[in-house]
Amino acid sequence: MTYIILHKNKNIEIINHEYDDMDSILEGILKSDHPEGAKRTLFKKIVEKGAQPHASNMTLPVLNLTSKWFLDGENDLKISAGWEIFVSWAKHNQPCVDSFFSRDYLVSLLTTKYKNEANPPLVIHQCMRIVPNKSRTNSQKIIEASAIKFIQEHIDTVCLRNFVIFLEEYKDCVPKGKYRLKFCESLIEGLSKGKTPENQNEVMQFVKDVARIVQFIHHLWQSGDASLVLDCLKNVFYILCDVTSSEEPSDCLGSLLTCVPNDVCNDVIKQAVKTDMVDNDAMTLALQRMVNWLNWPACINIDQIVIMFLKELATHKKYTVLISVTESKIESVMEKLQYAPVRDASFKILSHMLLSFQHSAIPFHKIIPQVKGTVAVLRKEKTKESLECLSNLAELLYCLMSHHTGFPDLYEPLIEMIKMYPEPSEDVIQMKLAESKWGGTSSASLTDVSGLQKSETGKIGLLNLGNSCYMNSIIQTLYMCDEFRQGVLTHPIRSPGNILSKLQEVFAFLAKSHRPAIAPSSFLDASRPPWFTNGCQQDCSEFLKYLLDQMHEQEKMKSITQGSPNKTIIEDTFGGKMSSTVRCLKCKHESTKVEDFIDIPLAFPHNTSSSKQLVGGSSEHSITTVEQEQKMDASADKSGPLHLNDLVKHYLQTEKLTGDNKYHCDHCKGLQEGESNIKIEQSPQYLVLTLLRFSYDVKLQCRSKIFREVKYPETLVLPIQTKKSPEQTSKRMKPNNVPSDVYKTLMGDENSVIGTDKEVYGLCSVIVHSGASSECGHYYCYSRHSSPTGNPHISDNVDKIDFLENKWHLFNDCRVSYTSYDSFSNVTKRFNRDTAYVLVYRKISPSEFEGQQTIVKEPSIISKLRADIDKDNSKYLQEQDEANKYNTKTRERSSSTSSYYSRRDGDDEPPPPDCGGSSGLDSLDTVGARFIF
C-alpha cells in the first residue's frame, strides 16, 4: 500500500512505495482533488525516482501509461508529466525499453492517428536512442518503409519538424533510391498545407519549424543528383497550379527556393511556361501564389524568381496571364513596401510590374491611393533603407506619370508628395521603360476592370481597347451633347449594323447600365476608318469628322431611298454652312462657294505653314520615333498665351493671295493676286473647334506639336454673316441680371458691321491631348451637360460668363470623376504636355440668353435595348456576388499570412486617407466587370 501525505505547509511526502503498482499511483495522483501545483510536485518526485533501475514489471506499465498520456493526453499536465516521466524511466531502464519498443508498437506509432499528432516522432526518437543496435537496425527498416505514408498522413508542421529532427540523426531511415523523390514530394506537400498560427506569439516558432524542414529538404537535394531538385521544383509548381484544391498552399513554400541557384529556377520556369499541360487560368493562379510568397519573411530571393517568371511569360506572349497577375496583385505588392523585411523584394517586383504594364494605366492608378500611407511610413522610419526606397519610389512614380499621361487630377497630389525628389531625365525614363517592356503588345482589351466601382458621378466609363482613348473621348463628348444624345436614343433603327445603331447601343448602356465601365468593341469595329491601324494611337479630330460624316451619309442614304429627304441628326446638331469668297485684286471679280461644315479648324497665327481649310485639318500620317518625340518639346512656343477669340479672328480674317500663293482668276484667265475671305452663313447647334496643334516641322523632319497656351472662354461669341438689313437683324433683349457694360462687351455695339449678327455659345466639352505628337500620347475629356440652367453666372470677366450648369466631369477611359472649369483651364500650367485639342460649344438661343431654362427630358430606351441592359445588369449583380465571395475568402486567407509585418508602433492610429480624391479606384473590393457589345 502506498501512502501520500499532504502536510498543512503544502509539503508532500511519499512513503511505503509498492513499486509494482506505480502506474496506479500515477493514475491516482492525476484523478485526485489536489491542486495542479501539488500534482506537478508529486509527478516531479516520480520523475526523480525514475533515475534508479527498476524491475520490468514496474517499468513497463509506467512506460505504457505515460506514453499514452503523451500521445493522447487532453491537457498540458497530462502531456508534460507523461513525457517527463517516460523519458526519465526509459533512460535508466534500457532492457525494458527494448521490450517496450516492439515492432508492433513502432508500427502503431507510425500508423495510428493520436490526439497529439506531433508527438509520435518524439517517442520514436527517444526509444531509438536507447534500444540496442540490432533492434535499432530492424526499426530503421520499418521506419524507412513507412516514412512516406507517415508524412502523407501527418501534415501538421510541428509533427513534420519532429520527424525531420529524428531523420537528421538517423539518416538510414530516409527512403532511398527511387523512393527519395516521393519522400521529398511528400514533405513538400506537407509544407504546402501548413497553417500559419493566428496567435502572433506562435508565428516565429512556426517560421523556425518551417526553416528546419526546408533545411532538411535542401540537404537531401545536395546529396542527390540534379534531377531530384528539378523534379521537386516542378512539384512545387504543380501544387501552385492546382485550381481544384479548396485550401490555399502555404506561403512558406517559397522558402524552398532560397538556396536554389537561379539557373536551376530558370530551367524550371522555362519548362513551366512552355508546357501545354497548364492552361492560362492555372498559370495565373500559380504566379499569383508565388507573389504571395512575399508574405513569408524567409523568402529572400522571391523577387528574382517572380521577375524571372514574368519575363518568361512576356517572351512567350502570354499577355493574358501577365495582365491578370499584375492587376490582381499590384496592390498587395505595394502594401509590402511598408514592411522592412520584404521591402526590397517587394519594390523590385512592383517596379517591374508597373514599368512593363505599358499599355494601360489601370495597375498604376490602383496603387495611387496607397502612396500617401507608404510615403508616411518610409519617412517615419528614417533609416537609410527606408529613405532609399522612398527615393526609388519617387523615381518610379515620375516614370509612370510621364508614360501614362493625361490624368492631372490623379497626378497633382502625387507630385506634391514627391516634389523634393528630382524628376529623372527623359533618357532615364525611356531606358527604364525599354528594359521592362513586354514586346509591343496592344492587349489592353484584355485588361480586367473587375475591381472598379461605379463613379460617384453616376457616369459610366469606357474601357480602353488598345490605344482607343481617342474614340472613348469622342463618345463621351457626344453623349454629353444633350440634344444629340436624345436624337440618337430616339432614332428608329432600320439598319442594325450601321454606325448610328452601334452608337445608340453605347449611349443606351451609358445611360442605364449598372456597370462602372463598358467596352464598346463592336462600335469600334463599325466606326474605325479603314486607314486606322487597329491598336495604334489615332487623331481624335480625324476620327470625329469621319464618324459624323459616315453617320450623316448612312442616314441620308436611307432617307433618300425612303423618299423622305429630311435633315439628318448630324445636320440638326453639328451642321453649319460656311462661304468662301475669293476676290481678284485686278479685275475685282468675286467667286463665292458655300459648303457645309461640321467643325472649324483653327490654326495658330504664328504657324504660317498651316493654311486655312474649309472643313478640317490634314489627315496625313507620319511615324514618330522616340528620339523624335524627345525633340518635340523644343517646338513649344514660349510666347504669351493666346485667346480663343484670337484664333477665331485669325480664321475669319481676310487672307492675301500673293507670291507663290496667287490664285487662278477665271475672268482674267491667269494667276492673279487676290483676297480670300471666309464667313459663317449658318451657325450649328453644336460648334466643334479643332486647334491645329500638329504640323509638319521641316527642320525636325516630323509632325511636331504646338504647345502654346490658349485661354478658353466659357462663353464664346461667334460672328455670323446675315443677309438681313440692320433693321431686320435679330437683337437680343438684354437680360435684367446682365450689367450693361458686360452685355456690350459680350455682344458688341448695336451699330456694328452691317450684314453681321452674333451667336452666343457655351463651352460644354474639351478633349485634351496629353503627349508630344499626334502619333503618341493620350486623350481625355472635360465635359458637362449642355442645357442652360436659366440662371447664368455673370462676371465682370467676360470669359467667366457662363450660361450652362457648372458641373464638370472628367472622362478618362474607365475613370470618371467630378472636376471644374478651373482644373481644365490650368491643366497646361501643371502638365505642359496636356493641351486642349477639340472644343465643343453649344449655341445659346435668344430665349436661353434671356434666362429661360431648358429642361432636358431623357427619352425612353427602345424595348430591345432595354431588355438587353436589364439582362446584363442582372448578370452584373451575379458577378458581384461571386467576386465578393472570392474576395472574402482571399481576405480570410491573407489576414493570417500578413500578420508577420504588423507594425508594433502606431497600430492604434487610423490609416491615412486615400490620396488623389474620389477616383472610382479608391475601393476595390467590389467587382465591376465590363460588358462588350
SS3 95: helix
pLDDT per residue over 718-727, tens digit each?
A: 988 776 555 5
pTM over 0.75: no
pLDDT per residue over 258-273, tens digit each?
A: 778 778 888 888 888 8
43 has pLDDT over 60: yes
Q: Report strand pairing: 670-672 vs 663-665.
A: antiparallel
Rounded Cα gap, residues 375 and 418, in angstroms? 9
- Contact assessment for residue 70 and residue 83, using Cβ atoms and an 8 Å cutoff: yes
Higher pLDDT, 854 or 23: 23
Q: Let me know if residue 65 belongs to a domain.
A: no
Domain count of the fold of the chain: 2
**Distance from CA of residue 592 to its chain's centroid?**
56
Same domain? For 835 and 775 the reply is yes
- Contact assessment for residue 688 and residue 838, using Cβ atoms and an 8 Å cutoff: yes
Q: Let me know if residue 442 belongs to a domain.
A: no
If you count them, how many residues does the chain have?
Answer: 933
Hey, what's the cell of 73? 493526453
Q: Let me know if residue 511 belongs to a domain.
A: yes
pLDDT score recorded for residue 900: 41
Give the bridge partners for 689, in sequence order.
Answer: 600, 839
Same domain? For 680 and 800 the reply is yes
Rounded Cα gap, residues 639 and 648, in angstroms? 18
Same domain? For 866 and 792 the reply is no
Residue carrying the nine cell digits 451637360: 785
Q: Let me know if residue 171 belongs to a domain.
A: no
Residue type (1 letter), 729: T
Give the bridge partners for 13, in sequence order.
Answer: 5
Q: Which domain holds residue 693?
A: 574-605+641-722+754-847
H or E element that contains 591: strand 590-597
- Using pLDDT thresholds of 50, 70 and 90, give the confidence band for residue 451: low
Q: Let me know if residue 816 belongs to a domain.
A: yes
Rounded Cα gap, residues 336 and 327, in angstroms? 16
- Contact assessment for residue 516 and residue 452, using Cβ atoms and an 8 Å cutoff: yes
Rounded Cα gap, residues 194 and 191, in angstroms? 5
Instruction: With both helix axes pointing from N to C terminus, report the angle between 36-49 and 22-31 in degrees, rounded to the nearest 10.
Output: 170
Residue type (1 letter), 621: H
Same domain? For 546 and 584 the reply is no
Rounded Cα gap, residues 166 and 174, in angstroms? 10
Hey, what's the cell of 913? 486617407
Mean pLDDT, rounded, for 381-386: 92
Give the C-alpha distances (Å, rounded to integers) separating 612 from 304, 309, 616, 677, 692.
57, 55, 9, 10, 10
Same domain? For 867 and 783 the reply is no
Hey, what's the cell of 704? 511636331
Rounded Cα gap, residues 392 and 411, in angstroms? 17
Give the CA-trace dihedral at 59, 60, 61, 66, to 10 degrees. 90
Q: Let me know if residue 666 belongs to a domain.
A: yes
H or E element that contains 765: strand 756-770
Rounded Cα gap, residues 683 and 681, in angstroms? 7
CATH number of the structural domain spanning residue 502: 3.90.70.10
pLDDT per residue over 727-752, tens digit each?
A: 555 455 555 555 566 566 666 655 45
Mean pLDDT, rounded, for 767-778: 83
Hey, what's the cell of 378? 518610409
Q: Among residues 802, 821, 847, which one ends one of the domains?
A: 847
pLDDT score recorded for residue 610: 40
Question: Residue 783: which of 762, 818, 808, 801 has the closest Cα?
Answer: 808
Same domain? For 518 and 592 the reply is no
- Sequence-distant (6+) residues with CB within 8 A of 712 are 644, 763, 766, 824, 825, 836, 839
pLDDT score recorded for residue 769: 92
- Sequence-distant (6+) residues with CB within 8 A of 52 are 92
Q: Let me know if residue 702 belongs to a domain.
A: yes
609 has pLDDT over 50: no
Q: Let me know if residue 180 belongs to a domain.
A: no
pLDDT per residue over 276-297, tens digit each?
A: 788 888 899 989 999 998 888 7
Q: What is the percent of the chain with per-residue pLDDT over 90, rounded to a whole number?
A: 40
634 has pLDDT over 80: no
Rounded Cα gap, residues 540 and 528, in angstroms? 11
pLDDT score recorded for residue 135: 85
pLDDT score recorded for residue 244: 83
16 has pLDDT over 50: no
Same domain? For 874 and 837 the reply is no
Nearest 5°: phi and psi at 732?
-85, 140
Give the 3-state secondary structure of 483-495. HHHHHHHHCCCCC
Other beta carbons within 10 Å of 723: 8
The dihedral region occupied by 467, where left means phi > 0, alpha psi between -120 and 50, and beta the remainder, is left
Same domain? For 811 and 677 the reply is yes
Residue carrying the nine cell digits 469600334: 524
159 has pLDDT over 60: yes
Same domain? For 552 and 664 the reply is no
Q: What average pLDDT does the chain have?
A: 81
Same domain? For 541 and 652 the reply is no
Residue carrying the nine cell digits 480625324: 542
Same domain? For 788 and 827 the reply is yes
pLDDT score recorded for residue 912: 34
DSSP for 624-647, written as a single string: --HHHHHHHGGG---SPPEEHHHH
Lowest mean pLDDT among 434-443, 646-655, 674-683, 814-823: 434-443
Same domain? For 586 and 530 the reply is no
pLDDT per residue over 456-476, tens digit each?
A: 888 999 998 888 899 999 999
pLDDT per residue over 44-69, tens digit each?
A: 999 988 888 888 888 899 999 999 99
Rounded Cα gap, residues 878 and 875, in angstroms? 5
